[in-house]
Structure 1
Amino acid sequence: MKTEELRYLQRLAELYPTIGKASTEIINLQSILNLPKGTEHFLSDIHGEYEAFSHVLRNGSGAVRKKIDDVFGHTLSNSDKRSLATLVYYPKEKIAYVKKKETDMENWYKITLYRLIELCKTTASKYTRSKVRKALPADYAYVIEELITEKAEVLDKEAYYDSIVDTIIDIGRAENFIIALAELIQRLVVDHLHVLGDIYDRGPGPHFIMDRLMDYHSLDIQWGNHDVVWMGAAVGQAACMATVIRNSIRYGNLDILEDGYGINMMPLAAFAMEVYGDDPCQVFEVHGNPSNYNALEKELSRKMHKAIAMIQFKLEGALAKEHPDFHMENRCVLEGIDPVEGTVRLPDGSVHELLDHNFPTIDWEHPYELTDGEKDVMERLTSAFRNCEKLQNHMQLLLDKGGLYKTYNGNLLFHGSIPLNEDGTFKEVQIYGETCKGKALYDKLEAYVRKAFFTVDEKEQKDSQDILWYIWAGPNSPLYGKDKMTTFERYFIADKETHREKKNAYYHLWENEEVVNRMLEEFGLDPENGHIINGHVPVHQLEGENPVKCGGKVIVIDGGFCEAYRNVTGIAGYTLIYSSYGLSLTAHEPFTSAEDAVATERDIVSNRVAVRYNPRRALVGDTDNGKALKERIQELKQLLEAYRKGVIKEKK
C-alpha cells in the first residue's frame, strides 16, 4: 500500500474506528444509493419579488400538488385537493380562514391531520429515516416520527394512531401540529434549490429573499449580473454603488436601502436638492410612479435620481478610460455633449438632441471628474455600504453558496450566456492582459469576484473590484451578453434606435446542436444526456417563443417574477423541476397575494410540460452525490481490508 493511501485510510479510521462501524456505514450508504433521487427546483430572475418567490418556494412549482395527486388519486375531489394544497402552502392563514366558516373544527382537525400524515408518509419515504429526522421540527419530532413510521409490532394500528391524533386535539395542539406537518412537507418535497441569478433589483424585497435563502436547507446560487453589481456595491466599488442606488430609485425601491439595509440616503437627498433644486428633472421620473409617493416625494426622487445618474455616468466614463481592455468606450458619453447646442455625439459618431440640457455638475474640460459635493456623497455612501452588517452577511451567502456557473447531475447551470463568435467557437476575451475563453473565462472572472472581497493587495483589490462593474455590463461578460448597456441613451435620447442592445451570438446559436454539444463538453458534461439551464432573458410567450431550445438540450427559465416584463412575456415566467421521473417545465400565472391564494385556493402554476422523462425512475446512485457515495463505499471497503490484514488496528 502506498504511503499516501495508508495515511488517508488512517484518517478515515478516526471516523470509523472498528470493523463494525465501517461495515454499518457501507450498508447505510449502499441503501441510500437505491432511494429515488431528490427533487431539484430551479428558479431564476426573481428580481426582488419576495411574495411571488415565497409562493413558488412553498408550492415547489407544483411539486406539492403532484404529491397530493399521487397520494390521494381519485379518493379526494379536486376541490379537496386544492384546499389541502393551500393548507400546505399557508397553514396559519388557511386555519384562520377555515375557523371563520367551519362549525365543527374538531372534525376538521381530525380529517386534516390524517390527510397531512398520509401525505407526510409518502413525501418522507424517498429519504433515509436519519435525513427525515433531521428535518423534523424540534417540538414535535418524536410524535411525527411515530405517526409517519410503520410499526409492525402494533396489532391494532388504527387504534394506536387514533389515540395519538385524539390526544393532539384534546390538549389543544392541533393547529400547531398541522402547521408543523405542513412546513415539514414543504421541506421534504424539494430536496435542493438552484437559484440561477438576479435576486436583486426592480422588485421591493430582495433582502427578504436573501433572509429566506440564508435559512434554506440545501441550495446553490449562480450569480446574475444584478447580483454582482450589488456585490460590487458591498465592497465599495463606486460605479457599482451608484448603479445600485440609481436602480433602487428608478423602481421606487429606496426602502430596500434605507429600511432593509439601513443605508442613509440623506447625504444624496441634501446634495440633490442643493444642486437640482430648480430643475424639474422630468426625464428622471420614477418607474411605475409608486402610489405610496406623495408629490413632494416624487419630486425629491426625481432630483436624487438625476444626481446619482450623473455620478454614475462620470464614474463609468472614468473606468472605461482607465481600463481600455474592457472595451466599454460607449460609456464615455459625457465628453460628447455640446451644452450650447443641446446635443450629444455618441461614441459611434451619431449626433442626437438631448431631452435634458441642464448639467450643473459637469466641468466640460474634465467631464468625468466628480465635484467636491459628489465626492462627499460617495465617500459617505461607501462607508455605509461597507459597514452594513446585514448586507455583508447577504453577500457572504452569495460567496458561500454561489458562483458564475455550476455543473450538477449532468446539467450546466448559469445565468446569462457563454460568449461565442458567430461561427459558434468560444470567444477570446482579454482580462488584464490574459486571454480566456469558455470555461476558463468563467473560472478567471469568478476568481476575481472572490479576490474583490478577500485579497489584501491594494492594486489587486482595486482591479478585482473594477471587474465587478465589467461583469455587470461588459460586452463580453458572460452575465450580461450584449454589446453595450445603453443607460445614458434611454434617459437622454428619444430615438429608440440608440437604445438597442445587440445580444451575444449565444442567443441564436442555442438552437445549433453542434454548438450546444461543444458547450456541454467544454464544461465536462455528456452532450447526449446533459442540458444547459439558464435564465437572464425573458421568454416572449406572446410572440410564440418556446423556452425549450435545441430539442430540449437548452432550457431557459427566466422566472418572470418581475411585473415589468409581463407585458412582453404574457406570463409570469417559468421554473423547472427535476425529479426522479424526469425534467418538467412549469409555467406560472402572475401572483396576486397570499390572502387571495388562501381565500380562492387559486395556485399560480398554470401548466407543466415534460422536457424529458427518465426511462426508469432515477436513483440517488445515478446522481453526482451517488458517485461520491460510491467512492466512499470503495474507500470503506479498503479500510475493512486494512483492518482484516492488520495494516490498521481497530480502536475499540
Structure 2
Amino acid sequence: MSQNLRYLQLLSQKFPDIPSVTTEIINLEAIMELPKATEHYLSDLHGEYDAVSHVLRNGSGNIKEKIREVFQERLTKQEINQLATIVYYPQEKLQVLTQDMTDGEKQEFFTTTISELVELGQFVVSKYTRSKVRKAMPKDMAYIMEELLFKDSILSNKEDYYHDIINNVISLGAADRLIQAFSQLIQELVVDHLHVLGDIYDRGPAPDKIIDLLMKKKSLDIQWGNHDIIWMGAASGSRLLLANVVRICARYDNLNIIEDAYGISLRPLLSFAEKVYRDADLNGFMPKIDPDLIHLPEESKQIARMHMAIAMIQFKMEKAVIDRHPEFQTDDRLLLDKIDYDKFTITIDGKVYPLENHSFPTVDPNNPYQLTEEEEWVMEKLQAGFLNSEKLQKHIAFLYSKGSLYKVYNDNLLYHGCIPMNPDGSFMTIPIAGENLSGQALFEKFEQILRQAYKEEGSKENPCLDYVWYLWQGEGSTLFGKEKMTTFERYFVVDKETHEEYKNIYYEFRNHSQHVESILCEFGVDPQKGHIVNGHTPVKERKGENPIKADGKLLVIDGGFSKAYQKTTGLAGYTLLYNSFGMQLVTHQPFSSIEDAVVNEKDIVSTRRVVDKELDRMTVRQTDVGIALEEQVIDLKDLLNAYRNGTIKPYIK
C-alpha cells in the first residue's frame, strides 16, 4: 500500500486533479478502440540503400493500395502512378513535372495535387488520434495541414475558407513545401511501427545511409544479424572481427564504406599489401565488381592485395581465440599448420587436397600463426581507426539502443538466425561462459555478452569479444546456423567438397508446425496465435521454395535485397505487413534506380500473399500497446479513487 501510494503521488504530478485524470482515461479508452496500426517487417538489407529506401517510402506497396482505395475509378492508372511517385519522391518528382509548366498550369496542378493529398491523408490518418497526427507533422506546415486534414465535412459554409488556404499557399510559393510535408506525413503514418530483422551491413554499398534513414524513424526495433554483430564487435575493439569486416568489404568492393563513410584510413593496409603482396597470386581474391561500375585493372589488383593481406591476418588471429576456448570446438578452423609448404597441399579431416593459391609471403611454416611486425602495426592502426570513428560509434550506439537478438511483439517471435537444435528435435545445449544453455536462455546470454562487449569497448583482452566471434561463426550460434564457416577453404582449396557448410537441422524442422510450436512455447508465445518471423537465409523461390512454412506459423522474409543473392533467389526481397485485417507477405522484384522511379514512375512490382486474415478487425486493445494502455488506465482509476476518497489531495492552481 505504501509503495502504491508513493507511485500514485508521483503520478499525481502529471495529472494533478480529477478533470485531468478523467480526460486521460477517456483518451486512452478511445485509443484502444482504434484499429490496430500497421507493422512493417524487413530483413537482410545488406547495404542496398536505394532499394530499401524505396520500400520504406512506398510502405511495401501500401501507399499505392490506399490511393486505389480512396480514388477507385476517379483516377486512371497513369494518374495513380503519378500521385504515388509524388508521395514517394515529392521534391524530385515536382521538379520533373513542373519544369516546363506555365504559371496557369502550375496553379491547376498544385491545386489538384494538394486536394488529392489532403483526401489521401484523411484516409491514412483516420486510425490515429489527432494528437499523434499533429506530432508527426512537419512543424513549419502543421497549422495549415491540420486545418485541411480535419476540415468540417458537414458544414459547407467553410469551403471557401479551405480553398483560400490552398490558393494562398500556391500564390506565396509554398506549394512545393506543403506537398512535401503531406507526402512526408503519409509515408510516416502509412506504417506505424518498423521491424528490421538484421543484416543491415555488408555486401551492398551503403549500410551507413540505411542506418541514417532508420535513425529518423519514430518507432522501430532491430533484431541484430550476423553481419551486424561483426561491425558491433569491430567498433568495440575486436581486431579479429575488424579483420572480418575489412575482408568482406574488400571482397565485395565496398572499402569506401570504411574509408569514405566512416573516415577510417586504410592507407596502412594498402601500403603493407602493395609491398608484401605485390607479386602474389591474386586468384580467388579479386573483388566482386558491380558491372555498372568502372575499375582500372590496377585498382582491382590493389583491392585484391588488401583482400589477401587482411584475410591472412584474420586466419592467423583466429588461433588465439580458439586456444582460449576449447569449448567452442573450432579447432578445425586452424589450417595454416596443416599445409605442406613445399608441396602446396593441405590435410583436412585426414584427406590431402591441392591448394589453388601458393602465395603465403607472411607465413613462417615453423610458426604459421605469428603475426609479423608489419601485420601487428597494420592492425594497431586499423583498431584505432574503428575505435575513434565518431560516425561509426554513433551508428553502433544506435544499433545497441534499438536492437536485440530476439523480440516478442504482438504474439510474433522475431529473430534473424535460428534456434540451434538437435536431430531429435530438442534444443542444442551450448557451453557459454561457464553455463550450459539452450533456447531462450541461450539467446539472452548471447545478448548479455554482446552488450558487455560494447560496454567495455577498446579492451584488447575483453573476453566478451571472443564470444562475439563465436556468434559470428560458431556451430552453436543463434545467428550463424551452420556446422562451420569454410572461409579458408573457399579461398585456397580447389576441391569444392571442402567448401560445404552444413546447416543446422533447424532449417529442416522449421518447415514443420510441431517444431515451430515448440519454439513459440519456449519463448512464451501462444502457438495457436503466434508466428515466427525469420530472416538470414535467402528463400530460393526460383527453385520452388516457399517463404510461408509450417502451415503459416513461420515466415521467412529474406528474399534477397542484396544483388549478390538475386540470381539464386529469383527476386529482390520479401517484406511483411501486419495491420488490423491480418498479415500479408509482399514479394518484390528488383529495384532499378531512383531516377527510373522518378522520371518513368517505375515502382517495385510487388505481389501480396495473405498469410493470416483476422475474422474481426483487430483493435489497439488487442495489441501489446493496448495491454500497456490498459495498465495505465488501471493506475489512473486508482489515482481517481485516491482523489475522491481524500487519500491524495488534488492540486489547485
TM, length-normalised to structure 1: 0.97
Are the counterparts in 2 of residues 325 and 432 from structure 1 also a CA contact under 8 Å?
no
Structure 1 residue matching 2:284: 3-state secondary structure: helix
Are the counterparts in 2 of residues 49 and 203 from structure 1 also a CA contact under 8 Å?
yes
Cα offset, 1:458, TM superposition: 6.3
Quick one: distance in 1 between partners of 2:253 and 2:184?
A: 33
Are the counterparts in 1 of residues 60 and 606 from structure 2 also a CA contact under 8 Å?
no
Are the counterparts in 1 of residues 203 and 252 from structure 2 also a CA contact under 8 Å?
yes
Q: Which residue of 2 aligns with 1:433?
A: 434
Deviations 1:74-107 (A, max 9, x none): 2212221111111110111111121246552221
Cα offset, 1:154, TM superposition: 4.9
Are the counterparts in 2 of residues 586 and 605 from structure 1 also a CA contact under 8 Å?
no
CA RMSD of aligned residues (A): 1.5
Q: Are residues 1:211 and 2:212 paired?
A: yes
Q: Which residue of 2 aligns with 1:13?
A: 12
Matches within 5 A, 1:77-116: 77-100=76-99, 102=101, 104-116=105-117
Q: Which residue of 1 aligns with 2:145?
A: 144
Matches within 5 A, 1:45-194: 45-100=44-99, 102=101, 104-151=105-152, 154-194=155-195
Cα offset, 1:505, TM superposition: 1.1
Structure 1 residue matching 2:463: 3-state secondary structure: helix
Are the counterparts in 1 of residues 236 and 458 from structure 2 also a CA contact under 8 Å?
no
Quick one: distance in 2 between partners of 1:74 and 1:151?
A: 25
Bigger mean CA deviation after superposition, 382-391 or 103-112: 103-112
Quick one: distance in 2 between partners of 1:241 and 1:381?
A: 8
Quick one: distance in 1 between partners of 2:506 and 2:128?
A: 39
Deviations 1:153-203 (A, max 9, x none): 854233222111111111111111111111111011011110000000000
Q: Which residue of 2 aligns with 1:390?
A: 391
Quick one: distance in 1 between partners of 2:458 and 2:183?
A: 50
Q: Which amino acid aligns with 2:607?
A: N
Cα offset, 1:350, TM superposition: 2.2
Structure 1 stretches of at least 4 aligned residues deviating more than 6 Å after TM superposition: 456-459
Structure 1 residue matching 2:616: 3-state secondary structure: coil
Deviations 1:279-335 (A, max 9, x none): 242221111366332122111111111100000111123322221111222211111
Cα offset, 1:236, TM superposition: 1.3
Q: Which residue of 1 aligns with 2:303?
A: 301
Quick one: distance in 1 between partners of 2:191 and 2:637?
A: 32
Q: Which residue of 2 aligns with 1:340?
A: 342
Q: Which amino acid aligns with 1:592?
A: S
Quick one: distance in 2 between partners of 1:519 and 1:354?
A: 43
Q: Which amino acid aligns with 1:328?
A: T
Quick one: distance in 2 between partners of 1:249 and 1:491?
A: 14
Cα offset, 1:388, TM superposition: 0.6
Are the counterparts in 2 of residues 542 and 570 from structure 1 also a CA contact under 8 Å?
yes
Are the counterparts in 2 of residues 417 and 478 from structure 1 also a CA contact under 8 Å?
yes
Structure 1 residue matching 2:626: 3-state secondary structure: helix
Cα offset, 1:11, TM superposition: 1.6
Matches within 5 A, 1:216-231: 216-231=217-232
Quick one: distance in 2 between partners of 1:325 and 1:583?
A: 42
Structure 1 residue matching 2:529: 3-state secondary structure: coil
Structure 1 residue matching 2:479: 3-state secondary structure: coil
Quick one: distance in 1 between partners of 2:3 and 2:501?
A: 55
Q: Which residue of 2 aligns with 1:599?
A: 599
Paired residues in the alignment total 649
Quick one: distance in 1 between partners of 2:573 and 2:341?
A: 44
Q: Which residue of 2 aligns with 1:580?
A: 580
Matches within 5 A, 1:256-271: 256-271=257-272
Cα offset, 1:498, TM superposition: 1.1
Quick one: distance in 1 between partners of 2:77 and 2:238?
A: 54
Quick one: distance in 1 between partners of 2:491 and 2:280?
A: 15
Quick one: distance in 2 between partners of 1:643 and 1:450?
A: 43
Structure 1 residue matching 2:599: 3-state secondary structure: helix
Alpha carbons of 1:73 and 1:259: their partners in 2 closer, same or farther (altered >3 Å)? same
Quick one: distance in 2 between partners of 1:140 and 1:195?
A: 30
Quick one: distance in 2 between partners of 1:568 and 1:193?
A: 27
Q: Are residues 1:563 and 2:563 paired?
A: yes
Quick one: distance in 2 between partners of 1:39 and 1:605?
A: 20
Bigger mean CA deviation after superposition, 522-531 or 168-177: 168-177
Quick one: distance in 1 between partners of 2:38 and 2:457?
A: 41
Identical-pair percentage: 50
Q: Which amino acid aligns with 2:328?
A: F
Are the counterparts in 1 of residues 572 and 590 from structure 2 also a CA contact under 8 Å?
yes
Q: Which residue of 2 aligns with 1:422?
A: 423
Q: Which residue of 1 aligns with 2:516?
A: 516
Matches within 5 A, 1:274-293: 274-288=275-289, 291-293=293-295
Quick one: distance in 2 between partners of 1:12 and 1:559?
A: 47
Matches within 5 A, 1:444-463: 444-455=445-456, 462-463=462-463
Q: Which amino acid aligns with 1:647?
A: T
Are the counterparts in 2 of residues 587 and 608 from structure 1 also a CA contact under 8 Å?
yes
Q: Which amino acid aligns with 1:531?
A: H
Unaligned runs of 5+ in 2: none
Q: Which residue of 1 aligns with 2:490?
A: 490
Q: Which residue of 2 aligns with 1:553?
A: 553
Unaligned runs of 5+ in 1: none
Quick one: distance in 1 between partners of 2:156 and 2:308?
A: 76
Bigger mean CA deviation after superposition, 352-361 or 140-149: 352-361
Are the counterparts in 2 of residues 280 and 303 from structure 1 also a CA contact under 8 Å?
no
TM, length-normalised to structure 2: 0.97
Q: Which residue of 2 aligns with 1:503?
A: 503
Q: Are residues 1:248 and 2:259 paired?
A: no
Q: Which amino acid aligns with 2:94?
A: I
Q: Which amino acid aligns with 1:128?
A: T
Q: Which amino acid aligns with 2:360?
A: F
Alpha carbons of 1:313 and 1:642: their partners in 2 closer, same or farther (altered >3 Å)? same
Quick one: distance in 2 between partners of 1:150 and 1:110?
A: 17
Quick one: distance in 2 between partners of 1:141 and 1:349?
A: 72
Are the counterparts in 1 of residues 456 and 462 from structure 2 also a CA contact under 8 Å?
no
